[in-house]
Structure 1
């Protein structure tokens, strides 16, 4: 019922709150009018019965224009015209002041306040008062102007009671919808406000990191260039300084790539392009980059990525996640240590594990390791970072429909596990003379 009701009033992604309130009002009004129609047929006049049927039909047409054609504002304006005409006609054929018409005018005022465009309030709300006052004055000055249409006292009491009952049901439905919509919208605004505050805090932190961490490599590069301009350095000194500058620029480039990727994700322009990928094929260049860095730090890198394992993932996101995990493992592992990357399958899942025997993650940091508030630690060789990498890894893992978990013990090492859906590559056959590149084909076996 809840799902059907939401479909009737329209999705909040396609309809503004005012449009959904109008749709809900139309549905509630049609329900109440149709429930009241049998009473008017058996106890009251045929004219009133036809008025109610016509009213339900016209409201249904306006609802259709709003809900399915997207003309909510036009429908709301036409609805006010139809409503006021129906009020006058109903007053005339429903016994005037002797019927429940003053209550109906009151609920019509409520409907106008709920559905009319705010800029039109000065038209429809005063019009309701003017119409009721005018028609009551006409009846007062000319008592024979409106006939008493009730067959007997019983029919009058039944009409008044069921009119009241229908109005109560109508007001309850509309009011509950408005309250729930308001509360839901308020909760969404609160959540967005909190997210905006967190994003602003993160932005400030990143600007601080950028200002601090870009200053050092730029200053070093400037100092090196000044030395080259003023002095002639020995070959050994030049090699040492080149190595230091290369390490600084590599770390800075890695930091900037993480920040740019995170910024794009926050702007919601980055979505996962899920494809069937070979794990070994996608991660080969990432592993080679990590190996070159680990060799300079005298860290062994063990790799076990079976060629037959395939996953459904985004190639760029997968590479970025594993690159961050490997760089962190190398960063927090001492010289002479070990880092491993393996991939295994369990049921319909692939688990890519990055493990190290480094210094581990302190217990105090583990609860907030995927948030920028966790801060950044220097590596075992004083390597710097932004504290943004793991947060980015978790976000990209979720975008790919996966999950990122970890276990860590101080001075014992850390293990990160990226779980992704596996994918089946269709088997196919080929002839040696078919012209298919055997080297490329080998990737699928």
Structure 2
């Protein structure tokens, strides 16, 4: 059985190549199927009619099988148009001849030929010409008298058999192309959804650029203007130099995040995931924020077992955690604590980032992850990192994760990101907003 499938696939794909469009491949495939369906039955009936001493009908059947073989050869050499014309012409001639001489129900196969031709050609002029031709041939079959006596015609049972086969072929051919149409519609719909997603990502990127990157560069321009015009004395210049350094560092981080996000979009919506140890990633991020934390005398407490793992994209997780930790530092009060710890349930490993800061109004927390927020400054007037929580939500969703906010104004917030603990736990993404304490 496997050998039969192997050879059937080999013959049915004659002339097909990887560079073909989906429609062209299916047309080549269908021509091959029709040629194969004509080849073997016509050889069988050629032998059967030869035994029954219907020599002319046997010759017609044999000629039809020869033309079907010729079609396969033309397909193999890429002569697709000639193959189509040969298939349709030979079938029309031989089906008409058999029906005219032996009344074997060949007119129904002429209808099959017409339907196949309309499916194979897109030119409506060809449709009209073929329709007129087939209608004319069928009319002749009913108008012309019998050429051979009834004793030499095929049995009625064989005519019925041919009619049933012709009708079955019509159903199969129509459903074959309906399947192509529906699959194309699904592909078009998927492409439309992908384009909409790409447009949304583009709008997010432009919003972030306009909202979080343009404004700090304007501040930098103002500071450089003051330096150029010597509007700052030596005492205050050091403070402004530190501000410039922080803003440049923040914008460099923001641009890096945007470039990584844009790169992932260009490579498609799917992201490659793997098992990741959480603690080393967070330790590296904390180290990069040491200066910021020390300037506010913050204590960052990391309580994560060394073997804690998640299933996620490493670059995405770095962006997510860097932004959440940056926000925790930004909105924490001086001398406060930032606690980073994990909890595990049946589906997710949750990373919790808790700060002792200004908190979030419950009415505003629901919109944090859905739209770019107005420019905000931290407790010591620090500028934002630039990318924001909209990007975090997008990347969390791509990694099949969830996010939750618990916040109390003037007391602090807990941002919790849940990622799958194992490949079996990857489920439909959802975002939980909010759960206020």
Query: What TM-score comes out, normalization by structure 1 length?
Result: 0.69
Q: How many residues are matched?
A: 399
Q: Matched residues in 2 for 1:304 and 1:34: separation? A: 74
**Displacement after TM superposition at 1:327 (Å):** 0.9
The residue number in structure 2 matching 1:414 is 414
Q: For 2:367 and 2:65, how far apart are their aligned partners in 1?
A: 62
- Structure 1 stretch displaced more, 215-224 or 51-60: 51-60
Matched, 1:82 2:81: no
Residues in 1 aligned to 2:264 and 2:317: alpha-carbon distance in whole angstroms: 14
Residues 68-115 of structure 1: per-residue CA shift (max 9 Å, x gap): xxx9x7546523422322221222223369554454334323323323
Partner Cα distance (1:394, 1:93) in 2: 70
SS at 1:414's partner residue?
Answer: strand
State the Cα RMSD in Å.
4.8
Residue by residue over 1:280-310, the C-alpha shift from the partner in whole angstroms, topping out at 9 and shown as x without a partner, is 3333221112332123234331112333445
Higher mean displacement: 264-273 or 313-322: 264-273
1:110 aligns with one of 115, 123, 126:
115
What is the rounded CA distance, in whole Å, between the counterparts of 2:364 and 2:86 in structure 1?
64
Q: Indicate conservation of the 8 Å contact 2:64/2:94, yes or no.
A: no
The corresponding residue for 2:100 is 95
Q: Retained in 2: the 8 A contact 1:32–1:170? A: no
Name 2:220's counterpart in structure 1. Answer: 218
Correspondences of 1:57-72 after superposition (within 5 Å): none
How far did 1:269 drift? 7.0
Verify the 8 A CA contact 2:331 2:378 in the aligned structure 1.
yes
CA contact (8 A) 2:251 2:386 kept: no
Normalization by structure 2: what TM-score?
0.70
Matching residue of 1:321: 320
SS in 2 for 1:335: coil
Q: Unaligned regions of 5+ residues in structure 1, if any? A: 66-70, 424-445
How far apart, in 2, do the equivalents of 1:221 and 1:338 lie? Answer: 32
Deviation at 1:123, TM superposition (A): 8.9
Correspondence for 1:405: 403
Distance of 1:252 and 1:89 partners within structure 2 = 77
Residue in structure 2 matched with residue 198 of structure 1 by the alignment: 200
Distance 1:405 1:187, change over 3 A: same
Q: Which residues of 2 match residues 384-403 of structure 1 at below 5 A? A: 384-385=383-384, 388-397=387-396, 401=399, 403=401
Matching of residues 297-308 of structure 1 within 5 Å: 297-308=296-307
C-alpha change, 1:350 and 1:155, in structure 2 (3 Å) is closer
Q: Corresponding residue for 1:209?
A: 211
Does the 8 Å CA contact 1:264/1:270 hold for their aligned counterparts?
Answer: no
Asked whether the 8 Å contact 1:403–1:420 carries over to 2, the reply is yes
Q: How does 1:265-276 map to 2 (within 5 A)?
A: 265-268=264-267
Deviations 1:133-159 (A, max 9, x none): 886799899978889763345544x15
8 Å Cα contact 2:298-2:337 kept in structure 1: yes
Q: Against the structure 1 CA distance between its residues 122 and 335, is the aligned structure 2 distance closer, same or farther, given a 3 Å change threshold?
A: same
Question: Once structures 1 and 2 are overlaid, which stretch shifts more, 265-274 or 281-290?
Answer: 265-274
Corresponding residue number in structure 2 for 1:234: 234
2:153 corresponding residue in structure 1: 150
Q: 1:330 aligned to 2:332?
A: no
1:287 matched to 2:286: yes
CA shift in 2, pair 1:51/1:288, >3 Å: same
CA distance, structure 2, for counterparts of residue 231 and residue 75 of structure 1: 79
Between the aligned partners of 2:325 and 2:149, the Cα distance in structure 1 is 89
Question: CA shift at 1:243, angstroms?
Answer: 2.5
Structure-1 residue corresponding to 2:259: 260
Describe the SS at the equivalent of 2:289.
helix
